[in-house]
Chains A and B, each alone.
Chain A
């Protein structure tokens, strides 16, 4: 009864209310709608709930894995097989999340949280390294060295926005080249790129983007819920990632120790020794595992990493020559 009244009086076009266009049964008026357009919403709600719980599970698995990787640094050399398997799992999750678009949301939340804190140069570089996305977004199955967090979109998107002042690029950053700028402007993109994409939608003729916008459209509620949980989770993640601050080399704890390690060559500062738990070198903090894992070979970032270690080594050599 009520429905028929509403149908006559409400201004919303019928097509919008009941997209499927099926007729209501009279007896359904009092009950929860079970047929027709409402059904679509319900099934999509259920799908969204399923998606959310899957995303939550996936997120908790990611957090767990990252913590496991950190705890690798013990007194004894960590088990390389275990580390590699966990790292592969993280990579797999990250690839999937990148394809879903949830990766971007997580990094946005993370960057928003980080924006408040003061950033040192090292920290920015670290975050930038985190923000880089693998080319796997293209859909190719080859696992690349993965950035632990982040889509390439973070800094690259900034560049685009500055250049074109256009709407967001989609989750798939395949059109964006991996040259990340050295500056990082936090929080200038919208919290929900999907929506912007939907509204403007004309940017790139990337098919994948359009697909994503469709997904976003239907999953918008889920995305919001996801985002909330992701923000919460990213606080945990942020505790993990935020400890990149430790990466700033502390004032040398023991000049004798420094001297002892002053002739260690730079080739030790790679994933090799990190994975094998090299703790003694003062330049590498305990979380460099994540950092090393995330840096690409032929990218300006890893060169800056090695430049820094070279500079540090030079400093050491200078100390020895000049100082003691």
Chain B
């Protein structure tokens, strides 16, 4: 049986969608979220300028069975605009924090996109036919001279060039005092939650003027504030369960059946602190930046500054597995605190079979860990690897000591090139990596199906 991570490493082809090399980019082009839809046919990205770009996978070529469909731009639209909060005299950024697709129920696709304050539901639909042969209007839509109409005709639908239309269907506004960091669609396909720093609200997808607050950790006295919510997600199968992570490194599983306000958790996942590694930065690096349920719903994946952890829902006192993403940064925490990099929020993802986890790092590196074989790999999303069909070469960071050729030393890492957002196709070995303003899509040429 092929080892998925091995095949993934050695036969990955890359596809970069940045057309020109060395093109300068503006801040608005920085990609802030990446998400595949439930079939993997569509891939959406959001950027700092409030735009959403949707890519669609081309169907497989019939001539080359191994040539996987490539992703091409399907539609681009402006999701959020910058706003100004007049009461507080502050700008509200248009940056898209998260995109989540709804499961497809008809020909159209629906996605939720959110900035710091407002969630919007968008409908993405195709139009490839148009009616022709009106009686009263001519082809350009002008009214016909009635005297020239001699007979009646029934308009027919004729094929046309494909047009993709995106329209806003719902706007869920004015429900968050703090910055929205997560949205998650419930498995009931009717409700979703939005989480900000201190509160989580439950919405019905059809109702925009009312939401229910289900978690509230705001202290009565704001001076007592020591902990914020950093991420939240619904369980993939149980519509009553949700998890949220905090800046103190804890995870709380809440059951909405227990009470209307889920301030009291059902389970608390926390790893006891290692006293030997204690420093002034211990709390900051323990802050969980992302939490994801496994596809099976059995496990949780969390990311803090230096590690990625897999938790078993049935074991609260410690994680099942701990993966060191970039332990070599532990001795650099002070400088990373100074330049604010220590507050970077890296995301993490599962592959479709929950056997491999992936997360980003600095210097445009991203890492994959195979849970079954305990093997891991560091890869780079860069222009060198962006030539089509180029195979990705594993990278290594050396921390002094023996240095092999092509190793990068810790001190020459570029901390401005960070991979915060990654996505994995739900069923196949295709990954999307957002590196600042570039989107890289890597496909596993040989091994299409998931193993394990």
Contact = CB atoms under 8 A, between A and B. Distances in A.
Interface of A: 57-58, 61, 64, 68, 75-77, 79-82, 84-85, 87-89, 92-93, 143, 145, 264, 270-273, 275-280, 292-293, 295-297
B30 interface: no
B22 interface: no
A77 B88 contact: yes
28 contacts: A61-B280, A61-B334, A76-B91, A76-B93, A77-B116, A77-B179, A80-B178, A84-B228, A85-B283, A85-B287, A87-B226, A88-B226, A89-B281, A89-B283, A89-B284, A92-B280, A93-B280, A264-B87, A270-B221, A272-B177, A275-B222, A275-B225, A276-B177, A277-B88, A278-B90, A292-B223, A296-B223, A297-B223
Nearest to B225: A84
Given A79-B179, A85-B343, A278-B88, 13 more contacts: A58-B280, A61-B337, A77-B116, A80-B228, A81-B247, A84-B226, A84-B247, A88-B226, A93-B280, A145-B221, A270-B223, A271-B222, A278-B90
B290 interface: no
B227 interface: yes
A296 B221 CA distance: 10
Interface of B: 87-93, 116, 177-179, 197-198, 221-228, 230, 247, 280-281, 283-284, 287, 334, 337-338, 340, 343
7 nearest CB pairs, A to B: A280-B89, A271-B222, A145-B223, A272-B222, A80-B197, A82-B343, A81-B228
Contacts of A296: 223
A276 B178 contact: yes
B182 to A, nearest CB: 12
Contacts of A85: 247, 283-284, 287, 343
Nearest to A64: B338
Contacts of B337: 61, 64
Nearest to B287: A85
A264 B90 CA distance: 16
A296 to B, nearest CB: 8
Contact of B224 (A145, A264, A280): A145
Given A80-B228, A271-B223, A89 B280 contact: yes
A64 B340 CA distance: 11
A88 B283 contact: yes
A81 B89 contact: no
A275 B340 CA distance: 18
A270 B222 contact: yes
Nearest to B197: A80
Given A270-B222, A271-B225, A280-B89, A80 B334 contact: no
Contacts of B93: 76
A186 B226 CA distance: 33
B178 A143 contact: no
B163 to A, nearest CB: 36
Contacts of B177: 272, 276
Contact of B223 (A57, A64, A77, A295): A295
A297 B284 contact: no
A152 B343 CA distance: 32
A132 to B, nearest CB: 13
Contacts of A292: 222-223
A225 B297 CA distance: 58
Q: Which of A64, A81, A93, A297 has the most CB of B within 10 A?
A: A81
B178 A297 contact: no
Contacts of B197: 80-81
A146 to B, nearest CB: 9
Q: Mostly helix, strand, loop or mixed at chain B's interface?
A: loop
Contacts of A80: 178-179, 197-198, 228
A292 B227 CA distance: 17
Classify the interface of chain A: helix, strand, loop or mixed: helix
Contacts of B338: 64
B83 to A, nearest CB: 11
Contacts of A61: 280, 334, 337
A280 B86 CA distance: 9
Contacts of B227: 84
Nearest to A296: B223
Nearest to B117: A77
Nearest to B246: A81
Given A89-B280, A89-B283, A81 B230 contact: yes
Contact of B89 (A57, A79, A84, A279): A279
A94 B417 CA distance: 34
A278 B247 CA distance: 23
B222 A75 contact: no
Contacts of B247: 81, 84-85
B89 A278 contact: yes
Contacts of B91: 75-76
A280 B284 contact: no
Nearest to A294: B223
Contacts of A276: 88, 90, 177-178
Contacts of B283: 85, 88-89, 92
A197 B336 CA distance: 41
A270 B89 CA distance: 16
Residue of A143, A272, A277, A279 ringed by the most chain B CB atoms within 10 A: A272
Contacts of B287: 81, 85
A94 to B, nearest CB: 11
Contacts of A264: 87
Contacts of A278: 88-90
Contacts of A295: 223
Contacts of B178: 80, 276
B222 A79 contact: no
B277 to A, nearest CB: 15
B108 to A, nearest CB: 34
A77 B221 contact: no
Contacts of B280: 58, 61, 89, 92-93
A136 B231 CA distance: 31
Contacts of B87: 264, 280
A312 to B, nearest CB: 18
A77 B90 contact: yes
Contact of A76 (B90, B222, B228, B340): B90
Nearest to B178: A80
A89 B226 CA distance: 10
Nearest to A82: B343
Contacts of A87: 226
B283 to A, nearest CB: 6
A145 B93 CA distance: 31
